[in-house]
Structure 1
Amino acid sequence: MGVAGILALEKHHMTLNPRIAPALAAALEKKGYAALTEVQSAVIAEDADGRDLLVSAQTGSGKTAAFGMAMAPTLLGDDTNFNMPDLPMALVVAPTRELALQVERELSWLYGEAGGRIASCVGGMDPRTERRALERGCHIVVGTPGRLRDHIERGALDMSQLKAVVLDEADEMLDFGFREDLEYILDAAPASRRTLLFSATVPRAIADIARRFQKDALRISTVSERGQHADIEYRALSVAPSDRENAIINVLRYYDAERAIIFCATREAVNRLAARFGNRGFAAVALSGELTQKERTHALQALRDGRARVCVATDVAARGIDLPGLELVIHADLPTNSDVLLHRSGRTGRAGAKGVCAIIVPHTRRGRANRLLRDAKLQAEWAEAPSSDDVRARDRERLMADPILTEEVDEAMKVDTDALLEKFTAEQLAAAFLRARLATLPSAEDLLSGPAAQNERPERKPRENFKASVWFRMSAGRKAKAEPRWLLPLICRLGHVTKREIGSIQIGESETRFEIDAEHADRFAKALAENGGGENNIRVTPDDGSQMERAGPNDGPTDARTPKMRHREKSRHRETDSDGYPVSRNRDDSAPRSYEDRKPHDQRERDGETSGDKPRYEKKPYAKKAYWDKKPYGDKKPYEKKPFGDKKPYGKKADGDRPFKGKPKPDFDRADTPVGGDDKPWEKKPRADKSDWKKDDKPRRPRADKPAASRDDRPAAKARPAGDLTNPNARPDKGEDSSWARKRKPAPGGFKKKAGGYDKPAGKKPGFKKDGAKPFEKGATLKRKPKG
């Protein structure tokens, strides 16, 4: 940079503030800054030089440029420009993607004269592109907590040379659940860095983070020194619950703002309102969390370029978004708390500009709206939503003040204007001009009239009886579990009335009658017609005076008890007489009749008392029939046995007479089967001759023909001799020539020639086990092998 450039920078530097870096002063002058805001002057003061800062300032006060100027001395030092980019020197953390991209744009033009390079790392973008930008080198990194932590964990973001960390909208990041990510990022940063915390409010959680991660922080607050949102005009518009969307259309038409933003509570409401406004002719875009980052960026860019004039958004876009020229903020749904109200409203009235904030308040939510305004320490003007007549009157005012009507006629257009005046009258030309102008504007909506809007809550007076009332009938009774706790809100919602305008409610078995104050009956009927005459399956019609079907013994106010419980309670306290008997309500004389007053049955019969028109029953005497009245036995026919010959002879039945369709059995003998058939005549087989059967060649031992002896008749067993233990072929009770010795197998490995071949090799006898000793030797043990 030459000497002339340096002198120009110093001139701009002296114009704003001598403590601003010359390169930044030149950028501010080029952007059109004539003076610094209060928070910008406070962060570059002498006592804030090089210290950690905890700043709370109202929205739209220029906090982005403020922390950009605050960290410039730390990043630049004594140099005028930045050196070649390498590792990042500063890190800015923002809660939302839109705010992070906005901060990147602000810092780009602020540090453009100094040669600063800014990189962004936000969710929804390609992380590979961000890693390549970090590898090429940058001076400042701006991003969201989640994406920054991801780059740190993967080693793509090196913070070893970091000199400053800025947390923008720190309270909102805690509300979004980024506390863990923030602590991780601050722990990974060098301990010698500067930490700057900027927020609209400083709750307790922000103060705890400041005590943990900041050293000797300077507290700067500009909120209490001037009124909160002093450049914003707050208007609370009371509308009927069903007219909320129509009221928003009329507000947009009444103010005719160049740029407006409408806040809704849910994404579904955003999509519905954006679609309806687009159909009505408004240039509207939607902004919600379900959109991709590319779609959200295009929506905001369309609003900045003027291609769209209305933005319908959720609270995601309420923090930090700077839309130049935003003149109108509409709260379609009430905010959840006062902080959300301030952040939403802060999108307008920024940097000294004026703005309007309209809060749409249904009749049933007036108390909540008052609490929100009181907690936010705001004063709002209560009024009704603009009607269609108000919108047309405002259009007329703008038309008369349009500068196009006061411009001089050019010579090139004079020929055409003279031709039009010769052919058409002035009235026709004016009407054509109005039609062409109104064709581009959406039409206004007719709203239902509601209760008079009041700035202060009226004193509650005791309720008085209605002087005159009108009855209505509802198709819901005790059978539909109708109860006053849900009938009363339903009536208020359908007719746009309050509970003070509703009188008696009579619940019948299948329908309900209720009365409305006569002064509000016409308005109730009109609102009822607008809502289709009811809700869901419940219809409300004017009462025709017919008798309503009562609910029987359970008629009356509904309570938490069931009809059975109420019946038990009533029966528990039934009226009884002195003797303890229940008193009948159907009789005129409820006292019981004494026993003496009753007539016996025979006395009543003698007096001729009867029951109604039915004659008295006369009992006939019993008379035994005479013996000769019976029929004689001789009149009966004698039993005759049918002769055997009357039976039909047995014959073959036809196949069709059989009850089944199976193959009939043959009615002839098997021996009569024709030759050549499959069946053969049955013949008895002769017995086989068993004389030639031979089981084996061994001689059989003849069986003794003597009866088996009993246990007592058996002879005693003889004592066995000890035998010769030295001879292995001899058994103790047998000799060497015994059968046991003959049957013993030879020694292992040997074979004994037999007549039929060779015997099996000798081995241990199955079922016995030898424990190392020779058989039948002293000390040997024989164990029988267990079965199975």
Structure 2
Amino acid sequence: MPFSRLPAPIVEALTERGYAAPTAVQAAVLQEEADGRDLIVSAQTGSGKTVAFGMAMAPQLFSEDGRMDRPAFPLSLVIAPTRELALQVARELQWLYGKAHARIVSCVGGMDAMRERRALAQGAHIVVGTPGRLRDHLERGALDLSALKVAVLDEADEMLDMGFREDLEQILDATPATRRTLLFSATMPKPIVALARRYQKDAFTISTLGAERGHGDISYQAVTVAPSDIENAVVNLLRFHEPDTAMLFCATREAVRHLHNNLVERGFAAVALSGEHSQSERNHALQALRDRRARVCVATDVAARGIDLPSLSLVIHVELPRDAEALQHRSGRTGRAGKKGTAVLVVPYPRRRRTEGLLRDARVSVEWTTPPTVAQIAEADRDRLLKTLAEPVELDDEDRALGERLLAEKGAEEIAAMLIRAHRAKLPAAEELIEGGPAAARAARPEGPRPGFEDTSWFRMNIGRRQNADPRWLLPLLCRRGHITKSEIGAIRISNEETAFEIPKVAAAKFMAAFKRTASADPEGELQILPMAGPPDGPPRGAPRGAPRGGANDGPPRGRFAARPTQGGPRGRR
């Protein structure tokens, strides 16, 4: 039997779980050369590594007669970078050690610390936690590691990237020198090598990574789009694939909030995960995904660490990952445990060259293509509908009675058409995209003034790039002081010392009168707006109206305008 070297309770749990053979990383930690030694294991996410280190530490937790005695202090410690990953690891170890009646305590930020301390006081075989919370319990005397036999560092590279080095060192320094240290990391940068050299002895190295860094069970696609079509491309990708669960990655919490709101408005069952959500909100979101009440999760990189959703089959990189490692970790949310998955990068035309370099660094083979069209989505919908209707279903008497009643009133073809229409009505609409590449995207931009701006008046204000001028907070300022709407503001041109903007001539007098009436909002008179004889010379030097201008200088004005809360908006948090 492939698991014959494991204690009987572990073998029984694996058999009940349907494990017929170990994965590559599980087989590697069970070989004789790894017995009782420190381990450095390089393995991808989704390769079965949680069960692997659960198997590897079993000999230190069971007595010679195959039992687990009630411990006074923890025998094994598993450290993970995020709450979600730590809780997932605890769930995996619960069933793996369930037949042995092991006591497993989780210690993670955002949970009740008092309850965790009470659980630790009652004794635990295995403690699973995040570095910050474990260090807190250690400093308060609630966590005693003097009897520890095995320490596991899961996703050690990510913990160092997140700044947990000092926490890890303090925790490991509190453990006996005789412990085993199992270090699991998808990559082996220099800080990981240094950590291993300090805390491990004669470590046995295991690598289950192939020559390709990308997951073998993940197919990669890169779709090229006009920058203005990114969100529409995401909608069409979701509609074309219709995955059981999809995860969409954005770079900032603001982008997560914006995309999530827009998807919900379009009819998608979506949840959001970012740093601004509480642990309770995150738990509700994840439970909605597991219950299939939601099918789309919009998340930032850190918020999605450690999330394991068995039904996740599609990952969309809405905003490009920062490097090859981020691409690997993001995409690794799918294609897990032998299942197939798809990872799609949405690539604006100007960023194709950068993306090609990113993919070379990641050694990922990718199919370059265009987003699904409305016609392709309609064809996929037809195929899915026919397949769904062809599946056998159990009908009760009430179903048959209602079917007979419908047939008595309408023809079979009409009933079938009504069924199809009802099915389609539940689906979000696909989007028409700009076709033909960058040239077509440029050609699709409207020439000349937009409707309502054929005859405009120009104004200038004494705020420019030196005061951190940005359309995102200038627009609300002009609307508030001038009693106009965003739709009444045309082009905005930002220079170093001032900003020019246009509004329709029919609204110009009303705007200036309102600006003077609201002068009390700026009692020192620092903000000045004056009419201009015509548009400023040269092309616009600021962002188009309403368009975000990412960068280090985003936010409200600085200097003499910084103290005026009516003249700015909140700084965007990354």
TM-score (norm 2): 0.76
Which amino acid in the other structure matches residue 188 of structure 1? A
| Counterpart-to-counterpart distance in 2, 1:270 and 1:472 | 32
More helix as a share of residues: 2
- Against the structure 1 CA distance between its residues 410 and 114, is the aligned structure 2 distance closer, same or farther, given a 3 Å change threshold? closer
Select the structure of larger CA radius of gyration: 1
The one of 346, 349, 353 aligned to 2:332? 346
Does the residue aligned with 1:202 lie in a helix, a strand or coil? Answer: coil
Q: Offset at 1:17?
A: 2.1
| Counterpart-to-counterpart distance in 2, 1:533 and 1:237 | 34
Q: How does 1:356-755 map to 2 (within 5 A)?
A: 356-404=342-390, 413-451=399-437, 536=492
Tell me if structure 1 keeps the 8 A contact 2:212–2:364: no
The one of 259, 262, 285 aligned to 2:271? 285
Does the residue aligned with 2:260 lie in a helix, a strand or coil? Answer: helix
**Which residue number corresponds to residue 225 of structure 2?**
239
Tell me if structure 2 keeps the 8 A contact 1:169–1:319: no
- Against the structure 1 CA distance between its residues 94 and 421, is the aligned structure 2 distance closer, same or farther, given a 3 Å change threshold? same
| Counterpart-to-counterpart distance in 2, 1:411 and 1:144 | 54
Residue deviations 1:312-357 (CA, integer Å, cap 9, x gap): 1111134332111111101111001010000000000001100011
Tell me if structure 1 keeps the 8 A contact 2:39–2:204: yes
The unaligned stretches of length 5 or more in structure 2 are 440-444, 461-486, 494-500, 503-534, 542-574
Does the residue aligned with 1:327 lie in a helix, a strand or coil? Answer: strand
| Counterpart-to-counterpart distance in 1, 2:177 and 2:446 | 77
The one of 172, 176, 181 aligned to 2:167? 181
The one of 31, 39, 57 aligned to 2:25? 39
| Counterpart-to-counterpart distance in 2, 1:262 and 1:320 | 15
1:215 aligns with 2:201: yes
Tell me if structure 2 keeps the 8 A contact 1:169–1:320: no
| Counterpart-to-counterpart distance in 2, 1:331 and 1:292 | 24
| Counterpart-to-counterpart distance in 2, 1:120 and 1:409 | 45
Which amino acid in the other structure matches residue 188 of structure 2? V
Residue deviations 1:739-781 (CA, integer Å, cap 9, x gap): xxxxxxxxxxxxxxxxxxxxxxxxxxxxxxxxxxxxxxxxxxx
The one of 118, 127, 132 aligned to 1:132? 118
Tell me if structure 1 keeps the 8 A contact 2:275–2:303: no
Does the residue aligned with 1:447 lie in a helix, a strand or coil? Answer: coil
- Against the structure 1 CA distance between its residues 415 and 155, is the aligned structure 2 distance closer, same or farther, given a 3 Å change threshold? closer
Which amino acid in the other structure matches residue 431 of structure 1? A
- Against the structure 1 CA distance between its residues 247 and 534, is the aligned structure 2 distance closer, same or farther, given a 3 Å change threshold? farther
**Which residue number corresponds to residue 48 of structure 2?**
62
| Counterpart-to-counterpart distance in 1, 2:407 and 2:327 | 55
Tell me if structure 2 keeps the 8 A contact 1:81–1:115: no
Q: Offset at 1:100?
A: 0.7
Does the residue aligned with 1:60 lie in a helix, a strand or coil? Answer: coil
Residue deviations 1:374-424 (CA, integer Å, cap 9, x gap): 110001111111122211111011112224466697776555434433321
Which amino acid in the other structure matches residue 189 of structure 1? T
1:273 aligns with 2:259: yes
- Against the structure 1 CA distance between its residues 205 and 433, is the aligned structure 2 distance closer, same or farther, given a 3 Å change threshold? same
- Against the structure 1 CA distance between its residues 409 and 44, is the aligned structure 2 distance closer, same or farther, given a 3 Å change threshold? closer
The count of residues paired between Structure 1 and Structure 2 equals 468
The one of 355, 358, 369 aligned to 2:341? 355
**Higher RCO (CA 8 Å, separation ≥ 6 residues):** 2
Q: Offset at 1:427?
A: 3.1
Does the residue aligned with 1:27 lie in a helix, a strand or coil? Answer: helix
- Against the structure 1 CA distance between its residues 366 and 227, is the aligned structure 2 distance closer, same or farther, given a 3 Å change threshold? closer
Tell me if structure 1 keeps the 8 A contact 2:84–2:305: no
Does the residue aligned with 1:261 lie in a helix, a strand or coil? Answer: strand
Q: How does 1:3-402 map to 2 (within 5 A)?
A: 14=1, 16-224=2-210, 228-402=214-388
Tell me if structure 1 keeps the 8 A contact 2:39–2:205: yes
| Counterpart-to-counterpart distance in 1, 2:394 and 2:89 | 45
Does the residue aligned with 1:84 lie in a helix, a strand or coil? Answer: coil
- Against the structure 1 CA distance between its residues 27 and 407, is the aligned structure 2 distance closer, same or farther, given a 3 Å change threshold? closer
Tell me if structure 2 keeps the 8 A contact 1:57–1:200: yes
Does the residue aligned with 2:153 lie in a helix, a strand or coil? Answer: strand
Which amino acid in the other structure matches residue 17 of structure 2? K
- Against the structure 1 CA distance between its residues 315 and 377, is the aligned structure 2 distance closer, same or farther, given a 3 Å change threshold? same
| Counterpart-to-counterpart distance in 1, 2:95 and 2:228 | 47
Residue deviations 1:65-95 (CA, integer Å, cap 9, x gap): 0000000011114232211232100111000
Tell me if structure 2 keeps the 8 A contact 1:96–1:144: yes
| Counterpart-to-counterpart distance in 1, 2:4 and 2:394 | 48
The unaligned stretches of length 5 or more in structure 1 are 1-13, 454-469, 481-530, 540-550, 559-788
| Counterpart-to-counterpart distance in 2, 1:116 and 1:390 | 53
| Counterpart-to-counterpart distance in 2, 1:65 and 1:291 | 30
Q: Offset at 1:225?
A: 5.8
Q: Offset at 1:249?
A: 1.0
Does the residue aligned with 1:36 lie in a helix, a strand or coil? Answer: coil
Does the residue aligned with 1:395 lie in a helix, a strand or coil? Answer: helix
Residue deviations 1:587-615 (CA, integer Å, cap 9, x gap): xxxxxxxxxxxxxxxxxxxxxxxxxxxxx
| Counterpart-to-counterpart distance in 2, 1:274 and 1:39 | 36
Tell me if structure 2 keeps the 8 A contact 1:40–1:63: yes
Which amino acid in the other structure matches residue 196 of structure 2? A
| Counterpart-to-counterpart distance in 2, 1:255 and 1:218 | 43
| Counterpart-to-counterpart distance in 2, 1:535 and 1:196 | 59
Tell me if structure 2 keeps the 8 A contact 1:149–1:185: yes
Does the residue aligned with 1:113 lie in a helix, a strand or coil? Answer: helix
Q: Offset at 1:227?
A: 6.3
Q: Offset at 1:281?
A: 1.6
Tell me if structure 1 keeps the 8 A contact 2:270–2:295: yes
TM-score (norm 1): 0.56
Q: Offset at 1:534?
A: 7.7
**Which residue number corresponds to residue 464 of structure 2?**
none
Tell me if structure 1 keeps the 8 A contact 2:109–2:130: yes
Tell me if structure 2 keeps the 8 A contact 1:250–1:386: yes
Q: Offset at 1:165?
A: 0.4
Does the residue aligned with 2:33 lie in a helix, a strand or coil? Answer: helix
Which amino acid in the other structure matches residue 69 of structure 1? M
Residue deviations 1:526-546 (CA, integer Å, cap 9, x gap): xxxxx999854689xxxxxxx
- Identity among equivalent positions (%) equals 57
Q: Offset at 1:132?
A: 0.5
| Counterpart-to-counterpart distance in 2, 1:34 and 1:156 | 40
